[in-house]
Every structure is written in C-alpha cells, then in structure tokens.
Amino acid sequence: EDASGARVFDLEIQSGTTALKDGAETETWGINGAFLGPTIRAKRGEEVAFAVRNSLDEGTSIHWHGMHLPAVMDGGPHQEVAPGGDWAPQWTVDQPAATLWYHPHPHGRTAKHVYRGLAGMFIVDDDTSEGLPLPSEYGVDDLPMIVQDRKFNGDNQFDDQGAFMSMQGFLGDEITVNGTLGPYFDVSTRLVRLRLLNGSLSRLYNFGFSDGRAFSLVATDGGLLPESWETDSLQLSPGERAEIVVAFEPGETVVLRSLPADEGYSGPLGRFNGADDELDLCEFRAAATLADETAVPESMGTAPDLADAEVAEERSFKLAGFSQINGESMDPQRIDFGVREGTVEVWEVMNNDGFMHNFHVHDVQFQVLAVDGGEPPERLRGWKDTVQLVPQREYRLAMRFEDYTDPNLPYMYHCHILAHEDAGMMGQFVVL
Ligand code: C2O
Ligand code: CU
Ligand code: CU
C-alpha cells in the first residue's frame, strides 16, 4: 500500500531467455521475469497503483484489456513508456468479477511485443464471485490458461513470419500454455475452473476435449453469466476470454484441444488461416481420488440489461481489407468521434472481408444485442469486450459510457487480430 491507501504493484518489463524447445534457450520478453507476466488480482472497490518500468531498449506500453478506467490510464498507443522510462497508472477497480488481461499496445508493434511474451492475466473479484461455490483455489482447481501459438526457427528462436497464404498473418504450429510447451496438469479435484485466454496474434481456437465431453461455460469477457451453459466446444478469437468448469473422473487422462473451427471463414480461405487445424493444448491427469467440494451454482452473475435502454446514438463500422474501418486506417492524430458520458450507444459492426476479423472496444463491456437480426448464440449472451466477426454478418453491440470524460485522450476500438491492428484496423473515440 502507498500513502493514499492504493495497493501498489511493481511491474518491470524486461528481456531474457527461457528454456523452451528441447531445453534450448529462446530469447523472450516478460514482466517481472523472462517470459509472460504475473497474474494480477484485485477486488472491486479496491484502488490499484502500478509502478511500471520499461527495461527494454524500445518503447512499449501496458494496456489493461477489458478494464473500465480513465483514458489516461488505459495504456494504449498514447501512453507509450520510453526505453528506461517509468509509468504510474492508478485507478479504482469498479466492475464485476471477471478474467481480464494486460498486454502492450505500442502503435504498429503490438504483435511483436505480445509474441515475444508480454502478456498476463488480471483477475477481478467481487463479493458475488467470492460467495459462490465455484472452484476458486488458484493453481489448484482454478487455473489461468494463456493459450498462444508459436513457431521456432532452426536456432530455437521465435519465428514470426506470416503463414503461407494467410490473411491473418502469423500462425504457429506449437502451443504454449502459460509459457510452457507440452503442458500437463495434475487434477486433484472433481471440478476444475479454467480461465481461458486466447493470447495469440491471429489464431482462432475451438476449445474442446479429446473425448468430446461437455463442460460448463460460466463467464465470458466481462464476467459471470447469470446461468451456466453446457457445451462441448467453445470458439475464442484473439483477445477473448472465457471461464469454463470441467468435471473429471478419478484416474483418467483427458486432453484439452483446439478442434477445427465451427465458423468464421468463407470457402477455402479457412484452411490457410488455421480453421482446419487440430492442436493439443494441455493434458489433464486426474488423481486416483478427487476432492469434491465445489459446484456450478444455479445463478451466478447479472444478465446484460441494455436491450431496452434508451439509445443516444447508433454508429456503423465496416471492417475491410486488412487495415481499414469505414475506409480509414488508424491515425493517432485523428479522433474519430466523441460519445456522451452516461449514454448508451448501439454500434453495428460488420466484417466485409471473406476471412476472420474481430472487434474490441476499450473501456466498456458490451452486450451483443443481435447477430444478423436474430438472437446471438449462447456463447455471446454475457458481457463481452471482444467479439468474433463472421464474414458478412451484422453484429449489433450495445454499450454504456459511464464516466471518465476526457476531450483529448482517446480510447481505441479495433480488430484484435494483431497483424490487422498493427496495419491500422483501429480507430479512436473520446468520452465527452
Ligand atoms: Cu487487447 Cu486494444 O487491446
Ligand atoms: Cu483492450
Ligand atoms: Cu482483422
């Protein structure tokens, strides 16, 4: 704690090496270590303060993905930290319990920085989440899983070349979970909660198990669902998170996989963008006896409530050609529009290309009101800050801009396929 009562976290962004493939040392970047960053955890109502130091020899930033906070604390391209420089953001956490994450956001270089290893989880707790019987012992029955694809060159260094014929840029053939290749987990409880984060540059994952078992989706980007939803596969595009609860039998071994994608591409483009790939992500090895003290409760979070809200403004966003939204690429000097504090807006978002994009908005969580005029699929019914855009479908997103006006400093909205974001598929808005 500092004098103001805020909880202080020291974060040093640094470079180093990590033993990855066949034990060889790979050059990696990390936060408070050589590879990836620590899980940050705070409770709603708590004031958090960060002492960020950039020990790299190039500028970078730390953006708090999914967090509601003042634009000056957002860590986007306008808050770059110079090499050797410091940054001290501070805010009060005020949003429901959720699995958020943090990663760099320097203009045009986000893909490189995330790929090298700058990413971590940010877990928000609240009274509701702490009172539920869900598995919640960190590292025991409540696991963060930062899922990333990587590729190694002959010298066992990260290769970041775009994939053959890919419209999305990089696609790796090896998976790291929390920075580990070939990971496994020793299961000691019947129910395990997995906090899944697609922390990849461009790969879509369709999470499922080797035996096709069902699991419960309990939370999406912005927090707990009102009720869990049973499924045997769950698609997450880059930047999206989900919390799932899986049941295990004593003594069994099951593999969490990425299955071929259900949707997201038109025609043969899918194959060159990884849609047909099947990848093993993590092996779960259950002990001979499993503790059984947790449950998936009947009711959990609160349902998004913007369907009947008074709408102050409707806007339309068309993503096309790798690098443009509404015909323009990102220009840090151009503010695209201002939204009014305290109002609800509906944004109609459409992917006009034949390959995948997604759409992320800073500062807010949105409700997916409709997809192509119909009810959104179950997996999109909770609060979201990033949504996959299947080509040629129209997504209606409702969001409320509560507070934190700033006429000069913008928040971003963009495609979270990082090659597209870096190429300029991003815009900026201010809250007035
Ligand atoms: Cu996860 Cu603007 O980013
Ligand atoms: Cu973000
Ligand atoms: Cu895109």
Q: Which ligand is nearest to the CA of 241?
A: 1
Coil/strand/helix, residue 164: coil
Cα separation, 242 vs 252, whole angstroms: 24
Give the pLDDT score at 46: 97
Return the biggest CA–CA distance within the chain: 60
From the CA of 166, the nearest ligand is: 3
Task: Give the residue-averaged pLDDT of 380-390.
Answer: 97
Q: How far is the CA of 213 from the centre of ligand 1 (A)?
A: 32
Q: Output the CA 179–ligand 3 centroid distance in Å.
A: 25
Atom of ligand 1 nearest to the CA of 65: 1
Q: Is any ligand 1 atom within 6 A of the Cβ of residue 360?
A: yes
Per cent of the chain over pLDDT 70 is 100
Say how many Å lie between the CA of residue 135 and the centre of ligand 1: 28
Beta bridge partners of 235: 206
C-alpha 125/C-alpha 370 separation (Å) is 29
Residue nearest to atom 1 of ligand 1 (CA): 65
Q: Can you tell me the ipTM of this complex?
A: 0.99
Task: Find the helix or strand (DSSP H, E) in which 127 lies.
Answer: helix 127-131
pLDDT tens, position by position, 413-429:
999 999 999 999 999 99
70-112 pLDDT, tens digit each: 999 999 999 999 999 999 999 999 999 999 999 999 999 999 9
- Residue range 123-149, pLDDT digits in tens: 999 999 999 999 999 999 999 999 999
Q: What is the pLDDT of residue 266?
A: 67
The ligand 1 atom nearest the CA atom of 412: 2
Give the ligand at the shortest distance from the Cα of 389: 3
Please give the domain boundaries of the chain with CATH numbers for all domains: 7-125 (2.60.40.420), 142-291 (2.60.40.420), 311-431 (2.60.40.420)
In the sheet that holds 142-150, the strands lie side by side as 180-181, 174-177, 142-150, 191-198, 241-247, 215-220, 223-231
**Hey, what are 406's tokens?**
């700033």
Residue 39 is encoded by which pair of tokens? 């899980």
Q: How many CB atoms lie within 10 A of CB 30?
A: 22
What's the predicted TM-score (pTM) here? Answer: 0.97
What are the tens digits of pLDDT across the range 194-220?
999 999 999 999 999 999 999 999 999
According to the model, what pLDDT value does residue 109 have? 97
What does DSSP assign to residue 77? G
List pLDDT tens digits, range 355-383: 999 999 999 999 999 999 999 999 999 99
Report the separation in Å between the CA atom of 152 and the middle of ligand 1, taken as the mean of its atom positions. 25
Which atom of ligand 1 lies at the shortest distance from residue 362's CA? 2
420 lines ligand 1 (CB under 6 A): no
- Whether ligand 1 lies within 6 angstroms of the CB of 105 is answered as yes
Q: What's the pLDDT tens digit per position in 54-63?
A: 999 999 999 9
Ligand nearest the Cα atom of residue 425: 3
* Residues with C-beta atoms within 5 A of ion ligand 3: 357, 415, 417, 420
Distances (CA, A) of 53 to 41, 353, 371, 384: 19, 40, 42, 30
Banded pLDDT at 3 (limits 50, 70, 90): confident
